[in-house]
Amino acid sequence: MATFPFDYPLARRSDHVDVFQSAKHGEVHVPDPYEWLEHDSEETDAWIDAQIKMTNQYLDQAKDREKLAKDFRESWNYAKVRSPPSRYRRLKQRDQFTVPIRQGDGRWYWSYNSGLEPQWVVRRTIGSELPDFNAVDLVQDELFFDGLNGSFASQENLLSEDKTWSIQQFSFSEDGNYFAYAGSDFQTIYVRQTDSPLCKNEDGSVPDFKQGQLEDEICFVKFSRIAWTADSKGFFYGRYPEHDSNTAEKSDKPGIQACLPSVRDKGQKLYYHRISSSQTTAHCIPEPGEDILVYEDPSNPDFRFEPYVTYDGQYLIMTTRFTGKRDQVYIGDLNADAALDKDLGVTWIKVEEKFEAEWKYLFNDGTKFTFHTNKDAPRKRIVSFDLSDSSFALTDVLPEENDATLVSASLFATDHVAVRYSRNVNDELYVYKLEGGSLVLVERVASDWLGALVPGETQHKDQPYFMTLASGFTSPGIVANYDMAKPQGQRWTVIREHVVPGLVPTDFICEQVWFTSKDETKVPMFIIRHRDTPLDGTAPAFQYGYGGFANSTNPRFLAAWLTFVKRYRAIAVNVNIRGGSEFGEDWHQQGVREKRLSEWLVDNKFASRGKIILNGASNGGLVVATCVNIAPEGLFGAAVAEVSVLDLLKFHQFTIGKAWISDYGNPSDPSDFDFIHPLSPLHNVPRHKTLPAMLFFTADHDDRVVPLHSFKYVAELQHTCAENPNPLLLRVQRKSGHGAGKTTEMMIGDMTDRYAFAAGVLDLKYYDD
């Protein structure tokens, strides 16, 4: 696979030009010859089909493809448990397992995959006792929801005929009687009664899908929580007006209906929906009928609203975001007269009107509210204020640390708080007690654990326990329960240990090292290697980074990394480049894109020059393309960029792109244009150097990072670098989005293509033992 054997599909170059304003040069005309790839058309579809055919032909010949597919299928084939979203947490696609959560009906619920099922199901306990997850058979549990694996394919109101629909968030009513669920990104919220499980009968027959399913269907929902009121009579949600891309059906063609130039997600409104009241007189038509409009801001159509109902059920908290993790905070009293009257709506108290900091509600005692925030605290702190005091003066409940970032906090046992800190990208977990308006340390938990310690949020503040997922780069992890009702020293109990077939944790070594950036900043990275990986400068390296939007890449278990490291005696590198939040908001604001770390790996004999494989997704894909553009020739051997942001001059014109101005700048601002244009991968493809083999993943239904980014960039690469000896390929996945909705087989296919491509172009040796 060292020499690329195919001719690239012809892509027409138009004379389209976009006009921008530069602070240095005035009016600037920027050619965009592949602007037509932004539009859904027969020409676009034909070009995509040709790319898919060529890429599949190339990948199918990878020498280790079948071996790697078998390896990944084996290492994925183990029982995985993860929690449903809690009151204040959404499900994340990358979650493999977290913790079960007890709902209002007294039962424990969790998402579950026995190994290779296409999609996750939801299971629950029969009674109120937490089951023994280490037992061979969970006799105390039952299947609650299995609407995604094809059992109901012949029925009306089908969720997933081809099994590519996945639940990305669901929320239980406070009394546990209702289960609201939705997919991602554009969603329809459905509601079921929890006394009617959606699964096959004991005799294998398939019940009526509609049994237990309410008529309530909430359409055009995106980037919104489902926040139930305390009386379980309804929930708050955010929705957008209908437009063509929101209603387009999935088709067998790749299609790019999410990236029409005229379409941007605008005009979200916050509504309240009463259960068993139709959203409209007929389901899913443009405007809600009986639902109550709670808030809108027509003058700011790009604002997004997140609803939260307080533990005591008295207040509705609305955080508003525009770009980045900075919030406005409004609070409304739900117990006020006619608070949810159709005409009157909620009367808001505006606590924070500026977009200066991130705010997360923790708990309240009447009008005294406690939040987790980075307001005047880059490494975050916990503060309180009195809603009845119009100054909303902040008082420290837990002050900012100088050398650790306060990642999360959650209330449990009425007056105790589980606090997670990150110190040098390793987690520390503490339990505090609320006394006299301050948090007093009770104890540190699991002090000998190196890696991630992720406590689950509690559904009810008086429950005396919280659960935690502990994992790391070489450890598939444990789930443990911390129970305040037990004596000190006996409170931490492991309820599940995960074992991954084909991978032995002791065969791998993980170490954290620090390299010096161009401006002398110390940047950490984790190096994971097999015990037989040579340290003589000959090993291949798989290098991953994200570096944006204050998202940290903390220690986490990835079976694919260990499989690659094992089979090719390689190293995997997780780089905590600036732009994340590993060291607080200052680290985020200093975001840069580094190539020096790759040179450090070579200089320190961890990796071989020309055998470094770059990988990143979303913002990380931008990092990959930028590094390839500016790196010295021959440093990288391969690059795999997934669902990437690549057109930095037009990203803000599509779907949710305007929210990224916080990190990328505003191309419409002349000063910002002057630093964005030289960085934009699409507009800086190098013309006179050999590029490494490159593979770009995108998805036809990605309405977050729309596929036009990859389409246009690959077209430009294939034109400008047509004689490049290494392949420059586009992989388009049909019926898929920004990582959500993929079946297990699709994810295994992703892993296989990613690593088989890199191993093939670098002609790496596969080790059978």
Catalytic residue among 702, 703, 750, 753: 702
Catalytic residue among 618, 644, 662, 680: 618
Rounded to an integer, what distance in angstroms lies between the CA atom of residue 227 and that of residue 307?
6
Tell how many helices (H) and how many strands (E) occur in the chain. 11, 39
SS3 of 145, please?
Answer: strand
Rounded to an integer, what distance in angstroms lies between the CA atom of residue 248 and that of residue 267?
19
Catalytic residue among 71, 86, 738, 750: 738
Question: In the numeric block, which tokens belong to residue 171?
Answer: 């929320």
Rounded to an integer, what distance in angstroms lies between the CA atom of residue 732 and that of residue 566?
28
Residue type for 164, please?
T
SS3 of 662, please?
Answer: helix
Active site residue 18: no
Rounded to an integer, what distance in angstroms lies between the CA atom of residue 538 and that of residue 236?
56
Rounded to an integer, what distance in angstroms lies between the CA atom of residue 223 and that of residue 225?
7
Rounded to an integer, what distance in angstroms lies between the CA atom of residue 688 and that of residue 167?
47
What residues contact residue 489 under an 8 Å CB cut-off, 6+ apart? Answer: none
Active site residue 702: yes
Please provide the DSSP assignment of 161-180 as one string.
SSS-----EEEE-TTS-EEE
Q: How far is CA 677 from CA 626, 646, 711, in A?
A: 12, 11, 19
Q: How far is CA 112 from CA 94, 141, 200, 358, in A?
A: 14, 12, 16, 32
SS3 of 641, please?
Answer: strand
Query: Among all chains, which residue has been given the structure tokens 């020096």?
Result: 596
SS3 of 600, please?
Answer: helix
Rounded to an integer, what distance in angstroms lies between the CA atom of residue 246 and that of residue 241?
9
CA angle 558, 618, 546 (to 5 degrees): 60
Please provide the DSSP assignment of 66-111 as one string.
HHHHHHHHHHH-S-EEEPPP-TT----TT-S----EE-TTS-EEEE
Please list the residues that pair with 430 across neighbouring strands.
419, 444
Peptide bond into 403 cis (omega under 30): no
**E strand spans, 649-740:** 693-699, 728-733
Active site residue 278: no
Residues acting as catalytic residues: 618, 702, 738
